[in-house]
Every structure is written in structure tokens, then in C-alpha cells.
Amino acid sequence: MKLLRVGPAGHEKPCILDANGDIRDVSAFIDDWDGDAISDEVLKQVARLDLSGRPIIDPASRIGPCVSGVGKFVCIGLNYADHAAETGAEVPEEPVIFFKATSAICGPHDNLEIPRRSTKTDWEVELGVVIGKETKYVSEADAMDHVAGYCVVHDVSERGFQLEGTGQWVKGKSADTFGPIGPWLVTRDEIENPQDLSMWLDVNGTAMQRGSTKTMVFGIAHLVSYLSRFMSLQAGDIISTGTPPGVGLSMDPPQYLKRGDVVTLGIEGLGEQKQICVDG
């Protein structure tokens, strides 16, 4: 299933994209697509719903973040061998973990706000893994049973805030609108192999990132298991699993986003995003 949330910010309704591409309102059955609603048990019940009688939402309506009430927004750095190579960094021996503030989360087509004093706002298309149930000390063999599904994440980054001064990554990752997610949460049963998905990002129609999840250093099952050694993961938590090559920081000279730029990005089977850059 493709789950999405539609409506004004803070007032989104839970919806499902049906087989014809229509957006169906399922708020009569589900309060919201949050941690309580994306367990295997609830999703099995939702899959049995007859969508034919559910209201169709205007496709021009705003699409919000595909998951509500995210508790943790965990990110993995340097997790693509080709991206590590372009930055001149060595492939890490263990996953590099950092966090984005959950206040960065926004809809997939909301404006991207360039922060005040920013001169180095950068782009990163990433595969998001959404946890479906509490996960603690899970084995790699059982890790995928704890995944509800997948979504597109735009891990927007301000490189000056991230790498200069005190060099704290969270500062460069957490500005408002720096975490568009969606358009859909695609349940794991619809994605045959999440480790072989093409991904792309363009700026003003020019190709910047082209890659595939098959070049991840640490795969999804390993990441879920690894993270669960250090913290429990709850339903609705998001793991953003790293980016392929082509970020602005690695260009010669570096290239960054500015007001008026249009960023489009997507992942095979998970939909597309589009953001217009505005002053924050």
C-alpha cells in the first residue's frame, strides 16, 4: 500500500493511493498514519478495506509528511561507497550516526527555506526506513520484520553549519523544512528488494545525483540491528540511510542552493518530491 497524509499543515487526513492513482480518504477508519497505525496488525486490517466507497481527494491538495508524530529522525552518514569517495572520506568501519530534529520534517512539496546566514545549503536524496514496531537488540536476521515501509527523504544540509565552527552535524541538518518525507509511505510488501532501487535528484532541471541503494555500505537490516544496540526504536521512527554521489559540497567549485532554485528528487517505486527554495 501507498499511505499518505493530505491537507493543510497540522490538519492532514490519512489517505491511501488506490490502484487507479486516486487519493482515497480513510480518516473514517484511521485517525492518522502514526506509530500506532503502521503496525503489521493494523496494516493487515487496512489492506482489507474496500476503498471504492471512500471519498476521493483533489489531487491538487497539499501532501503532508507521510508519517505523523515521528519520535526519532536517525540519519546515517557516508553510507554509500561512491559518495564517500567523492568527499575524500574513507568508508567507515561502522555506521556513522547523527540526528535531525523532528521539527525539520515537512511535506514533500513544501517550500525549502534557506536559513538566515546560510551560504552552503546542500541537497541529499535518501531512502527512508520507517520502523513499524518497537525494536531493541534485534538480530539482523529479524530486523526487516520491524520495518513498516519506505519513503523518500530529502536530507537537506547546511554545510557551513555542519562542518565549520564547532562542527556539529545536527546544526547543519535540523533547520525547518530540512526534512521533507514522502509523498508516500510504501509498505514493505510492495518493495521486493529495497537494496536495489534507483534514486535521483535534479536542481533546476539539471541532473545532480544519480545512484542506487545497491551501493550502500551498510544495508537496511544491518542498520536496524546496529541502531537497536544503542537505542530502542519505536514505531514511526525514521532512519535516513545515506546519500549517493553528486552533492553540491563535492563539486568543483562547490555549488549550493539559493532562493528560486527548484529541487526535484525521487526513488524508484517510492514517488517524487519537488521543492522551491525560498528565504527562511
pLDDT above 90 for 75: yes
Domains of the chain, by residue range, sit at 67-279
pLDDT band, residue 90 (cuts 50/70/90): confident
Q: Which residues pair with 240 in a beta bridge?
A: 75, 128
- The answer to pTM > 0.95 is yes
Q: What is the mean pLDDT of residues 211-238?
A: 97
pLDDT above 80 for 272: yes
pLDDT above 90 for 30: yes
Please give the helix or strand (H or E) that residue 73 lies within, else none.
strand 73-77
pLDDT above 90 for 167: no
Dist CA 254 CA 3 (whole Å): 37
Task: Please report the pLDDT score of residue 133 as a whole number.
Answer: 97
Q: What is the mean pLDDT of residues 131-158?
A: 98
How confident is the model over 48-66, as pLDDT tens digits?
999 999 999 999 999 999 9
Residue type, 20: N
More confident residue, 20 or 84: 20
Q: What is the mean pLDDT of residues 244-272?
A: 97
Q: Give the count of beta carbons closer than 10 Å to the beta carbon of residue 277.
A: 21
Dist CA 118 CA 156 (whole Å): 12
Fold of 67-279: Fumarylacetoacetate hydrolase; domain 2 (3.90.850)
Q: Taking a C-beta distance cutoff of 8 angstroms, is the pair 48, 30 a contact?
A: no
How confident is the model over 191-224, as pLDDT tens digits?
999 999 999 999 999 999 999 999 999 999 999 9
The residue with cell 542552493 is 257
Q: What is the mean pLDDT of residues 68-82?
A: 94
Looking at 132-237, which runs of residues are DSSP E strands? Answer: 147-154, 157-158, 179-180, 185-187, 198-203, 206-212
Q: Taking a C-beta distance cutoff of 8 angstroms, is the pair 275, 111 a contact?
A: yes
In degrees, rounded to 5, the angle at the alpha carbon of residue 3 between the alpha carbons of residues 200 and 48 is 135
Please give the helix or strand (H or E) that residue 105 lies within, else none.
strand 105-106
